[in-house]
C-alpha cells in the first residue's frame, strides 16, 4: 500500500484536539501556518516552562491512522485530529522510522522526523484509560510510545488529505526514535 495523508488538522489556540481542515500549509523552519505550536523555539507549555529558548523539534505532529483501529479494539473511539496531530497518515510505519528520515508530503512539503511524541496525561482527560493504550511497556520493560512522531519542516508546502507520503531514509547507521 502507498503511504497517504488521510486528514490534516490545526488549531490557533491551545486545545488538546485540533479541527480537521481541507488543507494546511507547512512553513520551513516553523511548522503549520496558524497552528499554536508553530515556531522556531518550543511552544508546548511544559517545554516553555522548562526553557523557552529550546529549539522546536515538535513543529509538526504525525500519527498513523492504524492506531485508531488498534485502540478501537480496546473500546476507544478516536478520529483524526482528536489526539492533537497535524497530519494523519495511512500505510506507513511512522514509529519504525529512524531519526532524520525525510518525508515528502504532497507536491513540495518536506518534514524531517525528530522523535516520538511523549504521550501525556491530557490523553486520559480526553478519554479515561486511553493513555495506557498509547503508552506502556513491552515484555522487556522498555517504554513503548505509540502516539505518533514529531518533525520539523525542511521545505514548505500545502498538505491535503489524499496526498502521498514518500520516505527518504537517512544514511546508516540509523538511530531509533526517542521521545522529544
**pLDDT average, residue stretch 74-95:** 97
Where residue 44 falls among pLDDT bands split at 50, 70, 90?
Answer: confident
Long-range contacts of 125-134 (CB under 8 A, 24+ apart): 125/16, 126/16, 126/17, 126/82, 126/83, 127/76, 127/77, 127/78, 129/76, 130/71, 130/76, 130/78, 133/70, 133/71, 133/74, 133/76, 134/67, 134/71, 134/83
What pLDDT, on a 0 to 100 scale, did the predictor assign at position 47? 83
Q: Is residue 64 part of a domain?
A: yes
**How far are the Cα atoms of 23, 33, 48, 61, 143 from residue 87, in angstroms, in the given order?**
10, 13, 23, 6, 24
Across the beta sheet with 109-116, the strand order is 20-21, 4-9, 87-90, 60-64, 149-155, 109-116, 102-105, 165-168
Q: Is residue 178 part of a domain?
A: no
Q: Is residue 96 part of a domain?
A: yes
Q: Is residue 145 part of a domain?
A: yes
Residue 133's φ and ψ, nearest 5 degrees, are: -80, -25
Q: Is residue 9 part of a domain?
A: yes
Cell representation of residue 150:
514529531
Query: Each residue of 89-145: pLDDT tens digit?
Result: 999 999 999 999 999 999 999 999 999 998 888 999 999 999 999 999 999 999 999
Total domain count, the chain:
1
Q: Is residue 128 part of a domain?
A: yes
Q: What is the CATH number of the domain that holds 80?
A: 2.40.33.20
Q: Is residue 18 part of a domain?
A: yes
Strand partners, 61: 150
pTM: 0.96
CB atoms within 10 A of CB 120: 15
Q: Is residue 176 part of a domain?
A: no
Pair 57, 43: CB distance under 8 Å: no
Domain that holds residue 59: 4-168
Amino acid at each position: 500500500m502507498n503511504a497517504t495523508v488521510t486528514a490534516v488538522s490545526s488549531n490557533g489556540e491551545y486545545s488538546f484536539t485540533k479541527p480537521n481542515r481541507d488543507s494546511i500549509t507547512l512553513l520551513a523552519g516553523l511548522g503549520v501556518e496558524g497552528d499554536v505550536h508553530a515556531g522556531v523555539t518550543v511552544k508546548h507549555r511544559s517545554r516553555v516552562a522548562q526553557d523557552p529558548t529550546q529549539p522546536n523539534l515538535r513543529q509538526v505532529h504525525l500519527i498513523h491512522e492504524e492506531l485508531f483501529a488498534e485502540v478501537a479494539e480496546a473500546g476507544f473511539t478516536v478520529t483524526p485530529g482528536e489526539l492533537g496531530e497535524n497530519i494523519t497518515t495511512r500505510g506507513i510505519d511512522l514509529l519504525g522510522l529512524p531519526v532524520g528520515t525525510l518525508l515528502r508530503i504532497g507536491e513540495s512539503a518536506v518534514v524531517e522526523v525528530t522523535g516520538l511524541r511523549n504521550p501525556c496525561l491530557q490523553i486520559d482527560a480526553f478519554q479515561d484509560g486511553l493513555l495506557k493504550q498509547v503508552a506502556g511497556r513491552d515484555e522487556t520493560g522498555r517504554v513503548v510510545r505509540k502516539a505518533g512522531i514529531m518533525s520539523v519542516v525542511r521545505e514548505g508546502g500545502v498538505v491535503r488529505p489524499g496526498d502521498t507520503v514518500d520516505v527518504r531514509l537517512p544514511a546508516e547507521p540509523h538511530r531509533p526514535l526517542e521521545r522529544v
